[in-house]
Chains A and B, each alone.
Chain A
Amino acid sequence: MDSLSLRMPFDPEQLKQLRAGDSVRLSGYLYTGRDAAHKRLIALIEKGEPLPIPLENECIYYVGPAPASPGHAVGPAGPTTSYRMDQYTPRLLALGLKGMIGKGLRNQAVIDAMKQYHAVYFGAVGGAAALISRHIISSQVVAYADLGAEAIHRFEVEEFPAIVLIDSQGNNLYETGPKLYKETYL
């Protein structure tokens, strides 16, 4: 499949052009974050304290990598299921977060916030962790080191394979895709 190349942090105008189902290759820098890190970020926001990472035009990858074995910059690092972050996500989108990479469904509040702030939800293949890690050039823990795999890492990635699951207009590949193949079953 033909893929569009995008750089992170994102160009917001370029993101608006993307449509659900587009195949993309992501290069540049992103931040990792999953349940525990999101909980801490939201706690800081609620207290009005500064965050350990920038959010404006940035991308968060929902992942908790496995440890890197010798000769690897990072261990296997595929996407985790995104809905667990749903209750935190709208707050981050309001602060400028523009992209998320994960897998699985999002709730309506997230989709509404994505439309409001022109953000995009990308999908990577769940369970393709060793393949995906080949596209991660470097990894550095930037916050919450005590969380281990759940710490916030800054990844440099090159040609990271992803698809647009939900675009900034709210078009959702998880709705349109299965409809094409659903059959009546008695």
Chain B
Amino acid sequence: MRSIQASLITETIAELFMEANYCIGEDVSLAIDAALVEEPSPQGRDTLRQIADNYQIASSERVAICQDTGMSVVFAQLGQEIHVENGDFEEAIQQGVREAYLQGYLRKSIISDPLFDRVNTKDNTPAVIHTRIVPGNRLQLTAVAKGFGSENMSALKMLVPADGVAGVKEFVRETVEKAGPNPCPPIIVGVGIGGNFEQAAIMAKRATALPLDTHNADVRYAQLEEELLASINALGIGPGGTGGRTTALKVHVLFAPTHIAGLPIAVNICCHAARHLSATL
């Protein structure tokens, strides 16, 4: 058994959310730089330049990249040999979110009731927490600050097995085309295929937080990622949606076993400001 203080979890989560909101990952900034070279649209290049400049300003001044500092999502992999001391595991995470948003000049965007009251909780909690208990004595935490401009453009569909690869391609392309300029392109597209209704959605969210320079380990799915990216970038939406070839920087696909009767698919769209960061304790 290994002990971890709840206060260390809080401290780590707070740091991850602040850092993720101020400093874009190098994989994203390199992808934007590469797009600046390739993008044929002058307006598109101007948009990409503003995006690149904005990353610089945000990290050097330590201010948020985007005013929508997101709904906080945490993926936790908790080693089963860990004992959390002096506090509750989930509350330690919520406290970390609270501290990041209150002390880090991040916008508080969460409301307690979605339909009737819509009153702000004033500390950006509660975060959405996905925990898996895994072998070992380490705790891995991934903080995702997910903006809602892109979240609102996401979609899920229960395809039937007969829809197959063509159905998957059509749904992804259609979802991105319908989103158009709304999710702040260039976007990162997370696709979850298989599992059931909720598992597909969670996979899609996890897929948006994978490094851009990686691909699915299964060569067929890696190929599918490439084909989906090409089909999306043929839509012409471009940076900011005003036309161009850089509509998506990356498509990540995750898959899971499913039922004989189903082919669930979820598409989670993430804006270019893909803010996520991990730490292992």
Give complex CA distance A170, B234 in Å. Answer: 26
Known contacts A66-B69, A76-B65; is-contact A130 B242 (Cβ 8 Å)? no
Known contacts A103-B182, A178-B236; is-contact A75 B105 (Cβ 8 Å)? yes
Count how many pairs of residues, one from A and one from B, have CB atoms less than 8 Å apart in the complex: 170
| Chain B residue total in the interface (Cβ 8 A) | 52
Interface pick from A92-100, A110-118, A120-128: A120-128
Task: State whether A181 touches B106 (Cβ < 8 A).
Answer: no
Interface pick from B9-17, B42-50, B71-79, B207-215: B42-50
Task: State whether A105 touches B182 (Cβ < 8 A).
Answer: yes
Task: State whether A65 touches B61 (Cβ < 8 A).
Answer: no
Residues 70-86 (chain A) with a chain B CB within 8 angstroms? 72, 75-78, 80-81, 83
Give complex CA distance A11, B122 in Å. Answer: 39
Closest chain A CB from B215 CB (angstroms): 20
User: Which residues of chain B come closer than 8 Å to A76, judged between CB atoms?
Assistant: 58, 63-67
Judge if B252 is at the interface, Cβ distance under 8 Å.
Answer: no
Task: State whether B50 touches A69 (Cβ < 8 A).
Answer: no
Judge if A183 is at the interface, Cβ distance under 8 Å.
Answer: yes
Closest chain A CB from B32 CB (angstroms): 11
Name B245's closest neighbour in chain A (CB-CB): A181
Name B244's closest neighbour in chain A (CB-CB): A181
User: Which residues of chain B come closer than 8 Å to A67, judged between CB atoms?
Assistant: 105-107
User: Which residues of chain A come closer than 8 Å to B105, judged between CB atoms?
Assistant: 66-69, 75
User: Which residues of chain A come closer than 8 Å to B63, judged between CB atoms?
Assistant: 66, 69, 72, 75-76, 130, 133
User: Which residues of chain B come closer than 8 Å to A161, judged between CB atoms?
Assistant: 50
Judge if A64 is at the interface, Cβ distance under 8 Å.
Answer: yes
Known contacts A125-B47, A129-B64, A181-B243; is-contact A83 B57 (Cβ 8 Å)? no
Closest chain B CB from A63 CB (angstroms): 7
User: Which residues of chain B come closer than 8 Å to A65, judged between CB atoms?
Assistant: 67, 107
Judge if A109 is at the interface, Cβ distance under 8 Å.
Answer: no
Closest chain A CB from B58 CB (angstroms): 4
In the A-B complex, the 9 residue pairs with the closest CB atoms: A177-B243, A182-B236, A126-B184, A181-B236, A185-B234, A104-B182, A178-B236, A131-B54, A128-B54
